[in-house]
Amino acid sequence: AQTVTQSQPEMSVQEAETVTLSCTYDTSESDYYLFWYKQPPSRQMILVIRQEAYKQQNATENRFSVNFQKAAKSFSLKISDSQLGDAAMYFCAYRSATTGGGADGLTFGKGTHLIIQP
Amino acid sequence: DTEVTQTPKHLVMGMTNKKSLKCEQHMGHRAMYWYKQKAKKPPELMFVYSYEKLSINESVPSRFSPECPNSSLLNLHLHALQPEDSALYLCASSEGQNGVQFFGPGTRLTVL
């Protein structure tokens, strides 16, 4: 079974600064997807960024980027120019790519609560 | 339309009640999911439907009964629940090939 570990229960950053959230995972599979989801207090789970394991290039979405180290099984999220709206619970998630039809659930880490200080 | 909708937003029920949660998507996704999320915890997978067939049941008690009447709709029938079943129930859908799951806003369930 796959496991996802987020070792930082809470992080705090000043507005406009950069913060990095850590995630490690354990799997015996070679093909999989990794995600960062954001869940604000309003509770809707929103996709932040996605990485395919077979791609060496790190994914980037505007102010959000990842550092994907496949050999180390590490998948950290960097948020640049932090904004008040970035405050939320951030979940790292794993999904196998080996099941046909995409019908595999996500395995989540425990989450990191990100606080943005004005 | 990139939205997953869930009704109701909130539900309070007694342990002897029967109720249903509803989830709908019109993105043409062929995989749909139910997750349970307790306060300050990550979501936990309950069920997966792929092409309207149940493909994964994560050992969920039989008091939870999923149903997929068509490719756009997913229900979760609830019967004889326990207070510990109180949680946020999240529905998600996925196109499948690219791995991304889109989540609905959830139903906050309270069992008295």
- pLDDT tens per residue across span B80-89: 999 999 999 9
- pLDDT tens per residue across span B3-20: 999 999 999 999 888 999
Predicted confidence at residue B72, as pLDDT, reads 95
- The stretch B57-67 carries a mean pLDDT of 92
Round to whole Å and give the CA distance between B64 and B23. 15
Q: Which of B58, B108, B60, B28 lies closest to A106 in space, CA to CA? A: B58
Mutate to test the interface with B, among A31, A48, A106 (most CBs of B within 10 A): A106
User: Hey, is the C-beta of A43 within 8 angstroms of any chain B C-beta?
Assistant: yes
Residue corresponding to tokens 């990100």: A114
Predicted confidence at residue B56, as pLDDT, reads 82
For A97, which of B33, B44, B99 is closest by C-beta distance? B99
Round to whole Å and give the CA distance between B27 and B3. 8
Q: Which of A111, A101, A106, A115 lies closest to A33 in space, CA to CA? A: A106
Question: Low-confidence residues of chain A, pLDDT below 50?
Answer: none
Question: In which band, very low, low, confident or very high, does the pLDDT at B51 lie, cut at 50, 70 and 90?
Answer: confident
Question: In which band, very low, low, confident or very high, does the pLDDT at B1 lie, cut at 50, 70 and 90?
Answer: low
- pLDDT tens per residue across span B91-104: 999 986 567 899 99
User: Hey, is the C-beta of A50 within 8 angstroms of any chain B C-beta?
Assistant: yes
Where is A46: in which H helix or E strand? strand A46-52
Question: Chain B partners of A110 at a C-beta cutoff of 8 Å?
Answer: 41-42
Distance from CA of A70 to the nearest CA of B (A): 18
User: Hey, is the C-beta of A101 within 8 angstroms of any chain B C-beta?
Assistant: yes
Predicted confidence at residue B55, as pLDDT, reads 84
Nearest CA in chain B to A97: B99
User: Hey, is the C-beta of A13 within 8 angstroms of any chain B C-beta?
Assistant: no
- The stretch B54-59 carries a mean pLDDT of 85
